[in-house]
Amino acid sequence: MPIHVLLISMLLFLVLFFGIGFLLNMLLRMTWIMAVIFPLVTIFIIDEVRFIDYFRNSGEAFSSLGEKFVSLASADILILSSGLAGAILSGIVMKLLRKNGYRMF
């Protein structure tokens, strides 16, 4: 993957998950909701197993998930970690806005 594509992808994931976390916080008034949901979103992005298979064939589904996590490229790890950084950053911004007296957040 070229470096400019990697940097743009990292920026997009950071902004995307920051925005989703910000909106979820305004709707649900839970500061760290996106940081908690992010691992589930990551699993849905990485794994190709249907959600119901985690309950029906849990051993096979989780072993497939483990293989997918191990086989991730470093670019994929960087992109997903920038998404996690965006989710955490949205929680920090919400805390700061509430501390400064903004009641809407």
pLDDT per residue over 17-69, tens digit each?
999 998 998 888 888 888 899 999 898 889 888 888 889 998 998 999 999 99
- Residues 40-63: b if buried by 16+ CB within 10 A, e if exposed: ebeeeeebebeeeebeeeeeebee
pTM exceeding the 0.95 threshold for the entire prediction: no
**87 and 21 Cβ atoms separated by less than 8 Å:** yes
| pLDDT for the residue 7 | 96
| pLDDT for the residue 78 | 95
Domain regions of the chain by residue span: 3-99
